[in-house]
Structure 1
C-alpha cells in the first residue's frame, strides 16, 4: 500500500521514545546496528538544539500524521571551503516497503538544496541492501562506486556503496 501523505517535520519531545528505541533494540535498525547506545543521548541532543544543528540534523518522517522514522544529515568536507551533506534514513519496520523511503530522501534533498548552499548530497549503503539502492536511485541519486572496507559491522570490515545527488541534477517528482 502506498502512502500518499508524507512529510518531514522537526523532532518533538513526543518523538523521543521512538528515537530511544533505535538506540537499544538491535532488530529495529537492521544492518545498521552497531551495538547498544546510550538511550538518553537522544534527550540530551534534543535539549541542546532540537536536532537542528548547523552541521547536522534530524527530521521526523511522518505519514498519516504518525511518525514513521527519521532522516538525518551531517556535513562533510573533501577540502577547501565547499562542504557536502551526507544523508541517512531509518524507518520503523512496519512502515518499510511502502515507498516512503525514497520519497523522504527526495524531500530531504529538496529541503537541503533550498535552505543551504551545498552543491552535493551523498548517501552510503551496504551492497546487500538492494531495497535502499533502488530507493536512492528513485530519489535522484547516482551510484558513484564501491568504498572498500567502509564500515566495521558484525565483527568484520565491509564494503559500502556511495551514491550522490547534485544540485544541478534533474529534480525528482515526489
Structure 2
C-alpha cells in the first residue's frame, strides 16, 4: 500500500465518522446530500457483516492514522454470468483537494483487481463534480459518457458521468488482503 494514504477495514470506532456523511449537511455537501434518511444504516451493516461482504464493501481511507473518509464498492450484475464493481468515495471536507481521493481510488482499483476476478470496475459522479472527475482520470479511469437525468438531488434531476477501468489496463502489484476487524468472523 501507499505511504501517502492507506485503506483499511473499518473498525467499530469508525462508525461515528461514517455517520457524519448521513447526519451533517456540511460533510455530505455539495454532491452527496440527499436529505435525511436511514441514519442507522452504517450501524446495521456493521452488525450484519462488519462492512465487508461478498457483494459490497467499505474501507476507511487514512493518512498517518488520521481518518480521511471511506471508499465503498458494490456488485453490479452485467449479464446472467458476469458482474463488475461500482465504487464511490466520501472524503471529509478537510481531506478534499489534497490528492488523497485520487490515491485512495487508485489503491481501491488495484485491490479489487488483485482479489476478485472482475474485468471491469466503474464509478459514477455527478456532471458538476469536476474535482471528482479529475481524480478518477488521475486514478486511471476512462470517461465513457454522460448519463442524463441520472440522479435526483436537491429538487432536480442531475446528469452523471460514467468512468471505468479494465483489468487489462492496470498493472496489478501484490496487494495484501485486509484482515477482518477484531471481533468479526
Global fold match (TM > 0.5): yes
Gaps of 5+ in 2: 174-185
Give the whole-Å Cα distance in 2 for the aligned partners of 1:132 and 1:171: 22
> Alpha-carbon deviation of 1:172?
8.7
For the aligned residues, what is the CA RMSD? 1.6
Contact in 2 for aligned 1:140/1:171 (Cα 8 Å): no
- Three-state SS of the structure 2 residue aligned to 1:32 is coil
- Residue of structure 2 equivalent to 1:72: 72
TM-score (norm 1): 0.93
Number of residue pairs matched by the alignment: 171
Give the whole-Å Cα distance in 1 for the aligned partners of 2:115 and 2:65: 24
> Alpha-carbon deviation of 1:171?
3.4
Gaps of 5+ in 1: none
Within-5 A mapping of 1:2-151: 4-30=3-29, 31-151=31-151
Give the whole-Å Cα distance in 2 for the aligned partners of 1:24 and 1:53: 24
- Three-state SS of the structure 2 residue aligned to 1:76 is strand
Give the whole-Å Cα distance in 1 for the aligned partners of 2:4 and 2:104: 11
Give the whole-Å Cα distance in 2 for the aligned partners of 1:35 and 1:16: 19
Deviates more, 1:158-167 or 1:32-41: 32-41
Runs of 4+ with deviation above 6 angstroms: none
Give the whole-Å Cα distance in 2 for the aligned partners of 1:118 and 1:170: 12
Give the whole-Å Cα distance in 2 for the aligned partners of 1:22 and 1:131: 18
Larger RCO (CA under 8 A, 6+ residues apart): 2
TM-score (norm 2): 0.88
Deviates more, 1:40-49 or 1:65-74: 40-49
> Alpha-carbon deviation of 1:12?
0.3
- Residue of structure 2 equivalent to 1:156: 156
- Three-state SS of the structure 2 residue aligned to 1:111 is helix
